[in-house]
Each structure stands twice: as structure tokens, then as C-alpha cells.
Amino acid sequence: MQYRLLGRSGLAVSELCLGTMTFGNTTSESDSIAMMHDFLDRGGNFLDTANVYVQGRSETIVGKAIKNRRSDVVLATKVRFMTGEHPNSGGVSRKHIMDAVEASLKRLDTDYIDLYQVHVWDHATPIEETMRALDDLITAGKVRYIGCSNFFAWQLMKSLAVSDRNHYARFISIQPQYSLVSREMDREMLSLCLEENVGIIPWAPLGGGFLTGRYSNEEPTAGRLTAKQGESSWALRATEKNFAILEAVRAAAERLDKTPSQVALAWLLRREGITSPIFGASTLAQYEDNMGAIGWTMPDEVWQTLNEVSALPSEYPNRFIAKFARPF
């Protein structure tokens, strides 16, 4: 396992992050704990959860697994979505942040959270209020670093500007959806993160299972891609371009004697700006498959082929800038 610094910080995280969204749901508690222990034993140190995963059960299981190895772990969780019925049980107001962090600390059975992330932008709360509350958590020692997830580029830049102007702690990372079949952040977010040195920890690096190679052109009857809406719905994934990408992944896997999942993750590991893809697994077999993405380097020509087949179409203003806005 290799390690990378997370954004503009001295925090070293493993090149893969173990996501825990299924823990306590499709993944049993015993399998979940076995995965986390094996991940730590093999040099992984980065675990990601959220206060709304399985109604908080994911955090509880993570807390059990790391109780005797807390200092070995970079523990990330999130705040934003509704956790109750009263009007202040969601969002990123000072009240909800302060309430939510205490609830997460209790479930995780720990005194501190390494990386506390805003799950998505809150239009109802001024970002100044949010950043001040998060900065106060760092000062109090309950949180050590902060990050965000699912932001637009302007939202991230505004957050950074508010922090800089007021001398608050900055977001050191962003958690966006990013994979060979979901490269929308290439338009603006990737260049912003490179410019501001914000770490990128992608979720759904396998396209919700689409890039595992388990699916054909026929609509599936089991698995995450049976969803009728949302990012993992078959309607979003089953496009002509995505199937072309999948065929390129399968061809690369056959050439390299790897699995499609390993190829898709390895492409991300070589992508500039990507710190640590977050992979999830419902079974121990899926976990073992994903762990096979590390310990080898994808050849340049294979990486470039995958990069080209998955690239976004030429669009303004990047198209214009590439042609006319030369430095001299």
C-alpha cells in the first residue's frame, strides 16, 4: 500500500479508501469488521462513512472495528442530510453541525473525527456560518480536518475564499462522483482542485458497479443498477458511450490479466489530482477483487486508451482556450 498527502495538509492517507455505505445493510456486521481489519492489516488507513449511512449503523460498526486501533486510522464521516423530523435536524447550520458531530462521535465511540465533510451544499445556510462552525470544531479538538462532497466548483471556491478571508480552517478535500463513466468534474472541478491543492477522494469509482464487468446490454434484475432513479440507475449508465468504455475496460483487463474492477480503479490511481478512490464492497470476494487494483502500474498506452474513450466531448470554454489562449 502506498500513501499520499491529502490536499494542502500533512495528513497521509492510503491510496485506496474503504467505503462503508453498505455496512450493516447488504454487508453483514461480521463481514464489515473483517474487511476493515484486513484493510488495516494490509496497510490501508483511510475509512469513509457518513451519519446517514444505514441510519447511523455504519458509523456504529466502524466504531466497533477500530476501537483498539484508533490511532492507525484516518476516519472520515459526513454531515448534512436529515437525521430526524424537526426542522433543524438537517443542513449545515451551526446548530445542526454541533448536534450532528456529537451524535457521530457517540456512534463511532471516539473522541475525534479525522476528516469531517459537508455532504452537499446547503442553500439555506450562509457558508460563513458553516465554515465558522467547522473551524470551531477543529479548535475544540473534536475534528482535525474538514472537507466537502458533491459541490459545484463555485461552491468549493467560495468556501475556500471565506476561510482565507476569515482565517478559518480550509477544506482539504472534496469527495465527488468520479470514474471512467462519470467524468463531469473534468470541466472545472479538477483544475480548481489542482490549482488550490484540494485532495480528491472519488466515490463510485466503479460507476455503481457498471465497470465491474458483471453487466451486459440487458437491463439487470439484481444489484445496484436496478435502481429506477439516482446516480446508479440503469437509465443513466446504459448509454452507447458507457458500453464502449466498458468494452475498453474489458479488453484492458484481458490484456493485463486483471479484472475490470481492478483496471477501472488503477486508471483512477494514475489520474492527476486523485488522492484516494473510495471503493465499497458488499461481499468479501468483491473486497478482495478491489484490493487487487494496487501493487502494479497500468502501462501508459493502456491508460491513454481508457482516458481517450472516456473523455468528455470538446466543449466551450476549454475548446476556445486550447485554441486561442496561449500564454505567449
Q: Which residues of 207-240 are buried (b: 16+ CB within 10 A; e: fewer)?
A: bbbbbbbebeeeebeebbbeeeeeebebebbbee
pLDDT digits (tens, 9 = 90+) for 6-24: 999 999 999 999 999 999 9
Residues 60-119 have pLDDT tens digits of 999 999 999 999 999 999 999 999 899 999 999 999 999 999 999 999 999 999 999 999
Other beta carbons within 10 Å of 300: 9
How confident is the model over 19-34, as a mean pLDDT? 96
Contact between 102 and 140 (Cβ < 8 Å)? no
Q: Where are the domains of the chain?
A: 3-214+261-296
Note the pLDDT of residue 17.
98
Identify the CA nearest to 4 among candidates 138, 172, 171, 164: 172
What pLDDT does residue 147 have?
98
Note the pLDDT tens digit of each residue in 139-165: 999 999 999 999 999 999 999 999 999
Q: Quick one: pLDDT band at residue 319, thresholds 50, 70, 90? A: confident
The crossing angle, in degrees rounded to 10, of helices 300-310 and 240-256 is 170
Reading across the β-sheet that carries 74-79, which strands appear in turn? 199-200, 171-175, 143-149, 113-118, 74-79, 46-48, 17-19, 278-279
The reported pLDDT for the residue numbered 116 is: 98
Quick one: what percent of the chain has pLDDT higher than 70? 95
Q: Percent of the chain scored above 90 by pLDDT?
A: 88
Q: Write down the pLDDT at residue 238.
A: 82
From the CB of residue 184, how many other CB atoms can be counted at a distance below 10 Å?
12
- Amino acid in position 131: M
Q: What number is the average pLDDT over the span 167-180? A: 98
State the Cα–Cα distance between residues 185 and 151, nearest whole angstrom: 10
| Mean pLDDT to the nearest integer, 39-68 | 97
Question: Which grid coordinates are listed for 162?
Answer: 471565506
Which band of pLDDT confidence, cut at 50, 70 and 90, is reported for residue 228? Answer: low
Alpha helices in 205-275 (DSSP H): 234-237, 240-256, 260-269
Q: Once rounded to an integer, what is the mean pLDDT over residues 120-127? A: 97
Alpha-helical segments (H) within the chain: 29-41, 57-66, 94-108, 127-140, 153-166, 189-196, 234-237, 240-256, 260-269, 284-291, 300-310, 318-324
Structure confidence at residue 76 (pLDDT): 98
Catalytic residue among 3, 53, 112, 316: 53
168 in active site? no
3-state secondary structure of 103: helix
Burial 12-46 (b: 16+ CB within 10 A, else e): ebbbbbbbbbbbbeebeeebbbebbeebbeeebbb
pLDDT of residue 321: 84
**Mean pLDDT estimate for the chain:** 94
Decide if 227 contacts 207 (C-beta within 8 A). no
pLDDT average, residue stretch 24-33 = 96
Predicted TM-score (pTM) of the model is 0.94
Confidence (pLDDT) at 220: 60
Residue pLDDT, tens place only, 280-296: 999 999 999 999 999 99
Q: Out of 3.40.50.10490, 3.40.30.10, 3.40.33.10, 3.20.20.100, which CATH number does the structure's domain 3-214+261-296 have?
A: 3.20.20.100
55: left (phi over 0), alpha (psi -120 to 50) or beta: left
Q: DSSP 3-state helix, strand, coil percentages of the chain (rounded to 5)?
A: 45, 15, 40
Residue 276's pLDDT is 98
What confidence score (pLDDT) does residue 273 get? 96
> Quick one: pLDDT at residue 229?
65
